[in-house]
A = this chain, B = another copy of it.
């Protein structure tokens, strides 16, 4: 039996979703068509609306419906702190931690020379101008602790320091709730090296 072409088209299109393989895509398509046509209609409309409205904030690169995002426009954030993250999703995680009240700069990537992603692609010039604008006092590197994320933090940090900007890096260590027995040795080594005096 040949699957009807619009059904096959939907199955193929669902594979654009991260973590969705051929089998899941098939299950999703059949589920939507049999049990949730309303939901499928809403999803189609939501996709179109988000694509139409969501752009990147011209100041921090975060997702925004307005030229400047809500964070950059806010008077209640501490403009002396600038946090550098790789992606809008990372920014969201930072916000959900509720531990940071400053502003952001989203790189929209990480240094990855093999993929052709260099400082230019990460808007390093705009980051420099922003960090050295006289308002920002400290730039916090919050890129991932992967090889690329570390390289990005190191490279951009050196560049910023060379222009007299104060740079910090979020702490490495044992996760909250983590048990030493199950933490990898690299993390534990860092936690020992970066230990803090108890006051």
Contact = CB atoms under 8 A, between A and B. Distances in A.
A158 interface: no
B51 A37 contact: yes
A193 interface: no
Interface in A16-46: 16-19, 24, 26-34, 36-37, 39-46
A42 B28 contact: no
A148 to B, nearest CB: 15
A14 B2 contact: no
Interface residues of A, number: 56
B50 A33 contact: yes
A47 B51 contact: no
Q: Which of A18, A26, A41 has the most CB of B within 10 A?
A: A18
B17 A42 contact: no
Contact of A89 (B13, B27, B69): B27
Chain multiplicity (copies): 2
Given A7-B54, A13-B46, A34 B70 contact: no
A64 interface: yes
Interface in A41-71: 41-54, 63-65, 69-71
Nearest to A44: B47
A146 interface: no
A36 B50 contact: no
10 contacts: A1-B95, A4-B54, A7-B50, A13-B47, A14-B43, A16-B32, A33-B51, A34-B87, A41-B51, A44-B48
Interface of A: 1-7, 9-10, 12-14, 16-19, 24, 26-34, 36-37, 39-54, 63-65, 69-71, 87-89, 92, 95, 108
